[in-house]
Homo-oligomer: A and B are copies of this chain.
Amino acid sequence: MTLRTDIYPADRVTLREVGLRDGLQLAKALPSTDAKIDWLTQEAAAGVRHYEVGSFLPAGRFPQFADVRQMIETAQALDLHSAALTLNERGAEAALASGVREMVCVVSATEDHSRANMRRSRAAAVDLVADIVAMRDAQAPDKLVNAGIAMALGCSLSGDVDPAEVLRLAEACLEAGADIVGLADTVGYAGPRAVGALCAGMEKLCGDRPFIIHLHDTRGMGVANVAAALDNGARVIDASLGGLGGCPFAPGATGNVVFEDVVFLAESMGFRTGIDLEKLTDVRRIAEEAMPGEAFHGALHRAGPPVNATWQAAPAA
């Protein structure tokens, strides 16, 4: 257990790049495997160590993830921490046979979304987490199991989501054996007060164990919500280069919170990320060239870090 959770140390901020998974989920112009490998390699050179590299799904229906094994092998060769979605037992079997270091299960915060999106109840989704944990324990005990709770801050089907219910679901996932739980504002409904309050509850629930916050910038609150999360104990933050990734319920909307801008935020708050912002900005170009017509977002890349100022605050206490 100690070994597994050392992947996400509780005393520093870890930024997870999800652009190669969530960022490609709705993309129309899919990057080639070579371009994805180049993206991964260059972003690693900029100092980013944690990646969702794809999803174990049928390649026929999800061609963007057909090369998930190759992406995992690339991450392995670069000694990066790789994660991939495993949405059923077949996916988990494939993940266990691969070199992936983290298997991501998804549980919905609301019964409506769980049944509509995953075709199972929330209870069944938690049972699946337990099943995957058992498979992991038997076959590859060094791999992490991550349970991500979708719609944790508002649901496009059910509307408001009760934070107490989300925390109960998070607890159920931990009891099912998940090493780490993530909270996702899948449709970008939340403002910083809601994010801060939910993270404070999560910190209380998780104690020394880290948790992940996964935010979408659908309504422009992404960076403000990350700040609130960091202020309330979150130490693992999902983001995507250029904010790649849209919203299935709001066509044309902005996507994941912008990775580059989150690096600047974290550093300005005194959290050292170990990431070189100038190199990271260069990696945007690889993704932009590989995905013509896709919308990339963010502000930092236009202006660059402040000139002539010690913009990196003293490390947070």
Contacts and interface: CB of A to CB of B under 8 A. Distances in A.
Contact of A310 (B159, B260, B297, B305): B159
A221 interface: yes
B306 A189 contact: yes
Contact of A190 (B190, B268, B300): B268
Interface residues of A, number: 55
Given A300-B219, A302-B250, A269 B193 contact: yes
Nearest to A157: B308
B218 A299 contact: yes
A187 interface: yes
A145 B190 CA distance: 37
Given A265-B191, A269-B191, A308-B158, A254 B302 contact: yes
28 contacts: A154-B309, A156-B307, A159-B308, A159-B310, A187-B306, A188-B299, A191-B265, A191-B268, A191-B311, A192-B224, A192-B268, A192-B269, A193-B270, A217-B299, A218-B299, A218-B302, A219-B299, A219-B300, A220-B258, A220-B300, A221-B223, A221-B268, A224-B224, A224-B226, A227-B228, A253-B299, A254-B299, A297-B299
A267 B189 CA distance: 12
A248 to B, nearest CB: 12
Interface string A210-239: 000000011111111011100000000000
A9 interface: no
A220 B267 CA distance: 13
A180 B261 CA distance: 32
B261 A219 contact: yes
Copies in the complex: 2
A264 interface: yes
A302 B258 CA distance: 16
Contacts of A220: 223, 258, 260-261, 264-265, 298-300
A157 to B, nearest CB: 7
Contacts of A310: 159-160
Contacts of A59: none
A254 to B, nearest CB: 4
Most buried by B among A226, A304, A309, A311: A309
A134 to B, nearest CB: 37
Interface in A281-304: 297-300, 302-304
Most buried by B among A224, A253, A265, A269: A224
Contacts of A305: 219
A249 to B, nearest CB: 8
